[in-house]
């Protein structure tokens, strides 16, 4: 009888070990936040890599497979992934993670959204997001709300884990509050300093730290800079005392390097996601941004 019990236990233990919730995030930064809240009760994967433009990702068949097996999907919302996510979400045929389902987390839910267009949009305006700027997570105050959104949906699909998730969330928020204080002290000198950004990726970071993004290297959102626009930036940089150019690794570097060399201001290639430039987790991401910019502005 004892031997039968041991055999049965050996059979069921692997099943118990695999009982984690399958969480799929569109971006690594959301995966990082899901791991903070979900801990040992979740298995988290990201569809995109940190060095990929989240607006224009190639939808792979493996993405459909991943979504078909997911218990929870975390997406940025605000049409960040509108070019590739809706089709594969439909193809997954997974009712648990469709829009409005308990297993679908819209990370932007409840956030204060920046740059919501006040006029009717058309294609001549470039790749403007009609619901506002979707790069919300670069303000750590928003990360607190995104983590809370993840918590609320984890509890819906796994009510037995509520106390565990609540404890994880409380611990994360406490650590984040302490780090926000440190980051704000380090970034005290950012306020009022003028910078350029390649794309409108740093708006929330700038809103939080007080940096002033006076213009973008792109002529319009999603549109490469024209010669006329570059000429205008060459005049703008000294006129507005621009201190630095900020850009991501996946955007073209030729024009920012040209502007940097001509005007003698630094060009910073920065991560805006985890799993990029050596950044592995959310705290490392904000640490990197604050200290890299601080070093160049000084």
Asked if pLDDT for residue 150 goes beyond 90, the answer is yes
How far apart are alpha carbons 128 and 15 in whole angstroms?
Answer: 47
Instruction: Give the tokens for residue 151.
Output: 């918590």
CA-to-CA distance for 212 and 205, rounded, in angstroms?
10
Q: To the nearest whole number, what is the mean pLDDT of the chain?
A: 92
Among 4-18, 72-86, 87-101, 232-246, the minimum mean pLDDT is found in 4-18
The pLDDT of residue 271 is above 80: yes
14 or 128, greater pLDDT: 128
With beta carbons less than 8 A apart as the criterion, state whether 274 and 285 touch. Answer: yes
pLDDT at 117: 85
* Rounded Cα gap, residues 199 and 27, in angstroms: 18
The 10s digit of each residue's pLDDT in 117-132 is 877 756 555 566 789 9
Interval 195-216: pLDDT, tens = 999 999 999 999 999 999 999 9
pTM assigned to the model:
0.91
What pLDDT is recorded for position 3? 52
Confidence of residue 298 (pLDDT cuts 50, 70, 90): confident
pLDDT of the residue at 10: 47
Residues 6+ apart with CB under 8 A from 126: 218, 219, 220, 221, 222, 223
pLDDT, residue 16, reads 46
Residues 231-264 have pLDDT tens digits of 999 999 999 999 999 999 999 999 999 999 999 9
């Amino acid at each position: 009888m004892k031997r039968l019990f041991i055999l049965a236990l050996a059979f069921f233990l692997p099943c118990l070990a695999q009982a984690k919730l399958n969480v799929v995030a569109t971006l690594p930064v959301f995966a990082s936040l899901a791991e903070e809240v979900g801990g040992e009760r979740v298995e988290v994967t990201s569809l995109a890599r940190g060095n990929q433009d989240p607006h224009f990702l190639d939808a792979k068949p493996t993405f459909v497979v991943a979504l078909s097996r997911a218990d929870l999907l975390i997406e940025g919302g605000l049409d960040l992934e509108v070019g590739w996510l809706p089709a594969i979400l439909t193809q997954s045929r997974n009712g648990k993670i469709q829009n409005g389902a308990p297993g679908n987390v819209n990370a932007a839910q409840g956030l204060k959204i920046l740059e919501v267009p006040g006029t009717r949009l058309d294609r001549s305006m470039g790749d403007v997001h009609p619901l506002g700027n979707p790069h919300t997570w670069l303000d750590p105050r928003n990360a607190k709300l995104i983590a809370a959104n993840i918590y609320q949906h984890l509890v819906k699909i796994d009510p037995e884990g509520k106390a565990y998730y609540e404890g994880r969330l409380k611990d994360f928020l406490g650590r984040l509050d302490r780090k926000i204080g440190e980051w704000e002290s380090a970034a005290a000198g950012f306020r009022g300093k003028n910078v350029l950004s390649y794309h409108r990726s740093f708006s929330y970071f700038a809103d939080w730290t007080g940096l002033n993004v006076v213009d973008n290297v792109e002529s319009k959102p999603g549109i490469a800079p024209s010669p006329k626009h570059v000429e205008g930036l060459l005049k703008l940089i000294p006129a507005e005392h621009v201190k630095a150019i900020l850009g991501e690794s996946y955007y073209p570097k030729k024009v920012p390097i040209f502007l940097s060399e001509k005007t003698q201001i630094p060009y910073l290639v920065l991560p805006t996601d985890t799993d990029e430039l050596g950044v592995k987790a959310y705290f490392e991401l904000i640490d990197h941004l604050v200290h890299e910019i601080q070093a160049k502005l000084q």
